[in-house]
Chain A
Amino acid sequence: MFRSITGYFSHDLAIDLGTANTLIYVNGKGIVLNEPSVVSIQHEASSNKKSILAVGLEAKKMLGRTPGSISAIRPMKDGVIADFTVTEQMLKQFIKKVSPSRFFASSPRIVICVPCGSTQVERRAIRESALGAGARRVELIEEPMAAAIGAGLPVEEATGSMVVDIGGGTTEVGVISLGGIVYSNSVRVGGDKFDESIINYIRRNYGMLIGETTAEEIKKTIGSAFPAPEVKEMEVKGRNLAEGIPRAFTISSNEILEALTEPLNQIVSAVKIALEQTPPELGADIADKGMVLTGGGALLRDIDRLLAEETGLPVFVAEDPLTCVVRGSGKALEKMDKAVGTIFTND
């Protein structure tokens, strides 16, 4: 009775606290926030005080372009909290942004996604952050489960479904059947590693230094995971390491493919290991249906093609892969009261 009353006044949230982006889904309203997980902090030298200058999109624009007194940081690293207090502040700001400025609005119940490879300490940190940000109750859901629900896979049926969620910090591989995770694996490779590899490749081969934002732009524009018949080119500006002067140069999609080989191989091997570990009955289901790719990494050109060629299984990218995880968590949030049990993790 009491819960129904408080539930009436509060707005329950599902949060995909990702390395790259944070998305918030509100029950009955859909996705209300989709912003980069970036916080910019101002240091006041006189009083040695730190205050939050901006979060989200605004802060991302500052990334790599800040003077000494301001630092723009990404508090999430490899899918887990790297800076506890900043993450808590960021969550607070995001929750405030989506909460209606209502008189006496009660604190929300929150479902948050965690990477399946995260440790208990990391999960606890995420839970504490959400509680600190004003949640009434916090449920954790493993990312492969949320991604599978969001992609529309038949998770509650007695059939195996395989999902590969390539996020900013981690890649999660999960095999799901009967509402539970049969096998899951997480490798700390994702969009960020792709960017890093591009930066390293360009420094090594061109002697040029580029920033993370530029690397991300290259990845989005000409990056691909499988050799394409047509070669694309892009002009990039960076600092020449030998001369120390900004210079422009042209880079082709084949070179980026070469740069991405190493992190892509890690993803492929994670998928292959998952297939090896999957019980044969579920493996047969997966051979029939294939696997679904979700997350921002699934937008890398031809990554589905790469995985299909490597595994010989049908692979397709989910519709709207960036929001799969948060939509899946939102669906789980709606089922929260009905106690589906295995969907949420206990620790």
Chain B
Amino acid sequence: MSSEIQIPGSSQSLVSAGVLLSNERVKRGISIQEAADYLKLSRKQVEALENDDYSSLPGTTFVRGFMRNYAKFLELDLEPIMAWLDSQVPNTAPDARPAPAATPQGKTASVDTHKEKEITPTTAAATNTDTGSGIWKWLLPLLLVGAGLVWYQSQPSDTTEPSAEAAAPAETVAKAPAAATPPAAEAVETPATPAPVPEASSTTPSATAAPVTPPPVATATVTPAATPTTPAVTDPTTTATAPLPTNGNHQLRLVMKQDSWMEILDSKGERVVFGTQKAGKERIVEGTPPFKMTIGNATEVELFHNNQAIDLKKHIKKGTTAKLELK
């Protein structure tokens, strides 16, 4: 009997569960038929169990079940037999992996407890990484959205208020680094600006990506842009009639009596003006005609095209919004 049991180290492992069972049965003086009658199995099935021939038996779950019943009948210790079966016919039933309270009753096979012990640390680790990735799963999109917002806000836009900037050059300096890459290469200086105002004072979208060279010009006249085709936003503070551009561009002057939302597109479809213009402000823009314009609250806006007044009321079709095209 002891020959069937190997003792490597402390834990016992069987050579064959079938041999153990048949030896015990013979020892107790029980015939195969008697065992089969008790277990309600056929003689062949009991023989198959004793010969470790599991192919002729219905399936792993049944082999394990019959084996347990047989071992119980012979009053044998279940643990080594089930451990041996684990290596021969692994349990196909779904595993209750980490369950701390999965085996509240003592009757359940101790094999399961072993499994639980083995798996517990890995599951603990898995849970940790799980919660970690859970945070990142949400943090990442949030960061992306945040970055997108910062980028959007840092975009140069025409809606910057020129007069405010002229009045507070220090503020503009502060703004300049915030504007990530001001593409303005040909900023036009205001006549009133005495000091070399940094280039970001009135930025314009431009094709040239040249780095900003501070033009410390303090001239009273508007300096023509380096690249003639690009529109430029000038910033006259008090002039009633602005000097016309000399480079063939047309000039639009907008005087806002009240707040007005507007969009002006030049011949290339680029936005020369876009956004809400504040009451009491004046905008002078240059660009190549035809201009397509949509001006909200048009009754409160005066428009001059090359110093010629244009009646916006004629172009109002609905409400107070004027839509027109200037050539």
Contact = CB atoms under 8 A, between A and B. Distances in A.
The 9 A-B residue pairs whose C-beta atoms are closest, nearest first, are A152-B93, A30-B97, A316-B65, A31-B99, A152-B61, A34-B101, A289-B58, A331-B94, A327-B94
B108 A320 contact: yes
Interface stretch (B13-21, B129-137, B170-178, B186-194): B129-137
Contacts of A149: 94
Band of interface residues on B: 35 or more
A33 B96 CA distance: 11
A316 B105 contact: no
B109 A290 contact: no
Q: Which of A104, A150, A322, A328 has the most B CB atoms < 10 Å from its CB?
A: A322
B104 interface: yes
B104 A9 contact: no
Interface in B98-148: 98-99, 101-105, 107-109, 111-112, 123, 126-127, 130-131, 134-135, 137-138
A153 interface: yes
Contacts of B111: 319
B40 A102 contact: no
16 contacts: A29-B123, A34-B104, A102-B131, A104-B138, A290-B65, A312-B40, A313-B40, A314-B39, A316-B62, A317-B65, A317-B68, A319-B112, A320-B108, A320-B109, A327-B93, A327-B94
A158 B102 CA distance: 31
Contact of B68 (A33, A299, A316): A316
Contacts of B39: 308, 314
Interface of B: 39-41, 58-62, 64-66, 68-69, 91-99, 101-105, 107-109, 111-112, 123, 126-127, 130-131, 134-135, 137-138
Nearest to A103: B138
Nearest to A291: B65
A133 interface: no
Given A151-B93, A153-B61, A319-B109, 14 more contacts: A25-B96, A31-B98, A152-B61, A152-B91, A289-B59, A296-B105, A317-B68, A319-B93, A319-B112, A320-B103, A323-B99, A324-B93, A326-B96, A327-B93
Interface string A143-181: 000000111111000010000000000000000000000
A26 to B, nearest CB: 9
Contacts of A32: 98-99
A24 B96 CA distance: 11
A100 B97 contact: no
A71 B95 CA distance: 36
Contacts of A25: 96
A8 B130 CA distance: 11
B96 to A, nearest CB: 5
A1 to B, nearest CB: 16
Contacts of B134: 100, 102-103
Interface string A320-343: 111110111011000000000000
A86 interface: no
A30 B65 contact: no
User: Interface size for chain A: under 10, 10 to 19, 20 to 34, or 35 or more residues?
Assistant: 35 or more
Nearest to A308: B40
Contacts of B94: 149-150, 152, 327-328, 330-331
Contact of A318 (B60, B66, B93): B93
Nearest to A331: B94
A192 interface: no
B46 to A, nearest CB: 10
A153 B61 CA distance: 6
A296 to B, nearest CB: 8
Nearest to B82: A319
**Residue among B64, B98, B108 having the largest count of chain A Cβ atoms under 10 Å:** B108
Contacts of A290: 40, 62, 65-66
A332 to B, nearest CB: 9
A321 to B, nearest CB: 8
A319 B91 contact: yes
